[in-house]
A = this chain, B = another copy of it.
Amino acid sequence: VEPVPIVTFLSDYGLDDPFVGICHAMVARTAPRVRVIDLTHGVPKHDVAVGSVLLADCVPHLPPPVTLAVVDPGVGTARRAVAAAAEGPGGPHWFVGPDNGLLAPALAVLGGAVQAIHLAEPAGVSATFHGRDVFAPAAARLADGAQPDELGGAIDPGGLCDLALPRPQVSVGRLETVVLSVDRFGNLALAASPEDLRDARFRTGQWLALTAYPGGTRAARLARAFADVAEGHLVVLVDSNSRVAVAVRGASAAERLEAKAGTRMTLSARGMPAA
């Protein structure tokens, strides 16, 4: 049995309009045997930074061979439409989307782009819906086995628009960073890794002073799972994407801390308030 080629798909199109459905229809018409898996279409509208984080988080789990990603506030401007490949576990994995930084952190997870194409615009392309007119057909054709050079001209993968995730400031006993994304449950993913926790010499089980700006300082426990703190308590843990995250067991940390993507946050071993 020949494996079904898959296009995974992330966007800020939402599901209340037919944008996503029409992109699915375009894939089905371009390459009927290709299957589409929706990652999410709930990226906040035009938020390239949050979209790039969510896409990067998906990378370790993506089936081959193509991912379509569209968060495209510059549609209709001179920004390029691109396809870029990195080395996936079973061969090249292609990312198709606008060259505005959205794809960069995902490509970085796989070691960076090794090949890139500036997608040619088909005749009759609209000025506002390149997901339908440019990106979905290109993704479908790549998944269906088209040679990359059928889709446009090769460009230098080193010249793709970069978008580095923010890096935390770490010293012994202190970690300063920002919220990268907030999920449905109000859990806050921070721009920090387990290595950063180690560099700060934080220990599992330790109480930390957690400060959100603007806003106050609260006690939070560094733990392995939600279940390691009592209902309603703040916990700092490593989430399922290997990011440091702040959560409240059974409630929303985003509401508790009035935090959102971009909120500055500090974890400190000193100055801990009464729990």
In the assembled complex, which residues on chain B have CB atoms less than 8 Å from the CB atom of A24?
37-38
Copies in the assembly, this chain: 3
A40 touches B16 (CB 8 A): yes
* Any B CB within 8 A of the CB of A132: yes
A-side binding surface: helix, strand, loop or mixed?
loop
In the assembled complex, which residues on chain B have CB atoms less than 8 Å from the CB atom of A73?
250
Interface-lining segment among A6-14, A206-214, A258-266: A6-14
Which residues of A from 43 to 69 have beta carbons under 8 Å from B? 45-46, 54, 57-58, 61-63
* Any B CB within 8 A of the CB of A225: yes
* Any B CB within 8 A of the CB of A15: yes
B17 touches A54 (CB 8 A): yes
Closest B residue by C-beta to A25: B61
In the assembled complex, which residues on chain B have CB atoms less than 8 Å from the CB atom of A111?
none
Closest B residue by C-beta to A30: B63
In the assembled complex, which residues on chain B have CB atoms less than 8 Å from the CB atom of A46?
185, 250
In the assembled complex, which residues on chain B have CB atoms less than 8 Å from the CB atom of A22?
39, 58, 61
In the assembled complex, which residues on chain B have CB atoms less than 8 Å from the CB atom of A176?
none
Closest B residue by C-beta to A239: B128
With contacts A18-B10, A21-B8, A29-B61 taken as known, whether A127 is within 8 angstroms of B225 at the C-beta atoms is: yes
With contacts A76-B227, A184-B13, A225-B76 taken as known, whether A28 is within 8 angstroms of B54 at the C-beta atoms is: no
Selected contact of A54 from candidates B18, B76, B129, CB within 8 Å:
B18
A21 touches B45 (CB 8 A): no
With contacts A24-B37, A37-B25 taken as known, whether A239 is within 8 angstroms of B15 at the C-beta atoms is: no
Nearest-neighbour CB distance to chain B for A65, whole angstroms, equals 12
A25 touches B62 (CB 8 A): yes
Most buried by B among A32, A73, A240: A240
In the assembled complex, which residues on chain B have CB atoms less than 8 Å from the CB atom of A74?
227
A40 touches B21 (CB 8 A): yes
Selected contact of A240 from candidates B3, B20, B132, B185, CB within 8 Å:
B132
Closest B residue by C-beta to A74: B227
A37 touches B28 (CB 8 A): yes
Separation of A62 and B15 alpha carbons in the complex (Å)? 17
Extra contacts, 16 of them, besides A1-B33, A29-B63 (Cβ < 8 A), are A8-B21, A10-B21, A13-B184, A16-B40, A16-B184, A17-B54, A18-B40, A19-B183, A28-B35, A29-B61, A45-B184, A46-B250, A75-B225, A77-B227, A127-B237, A133-B240
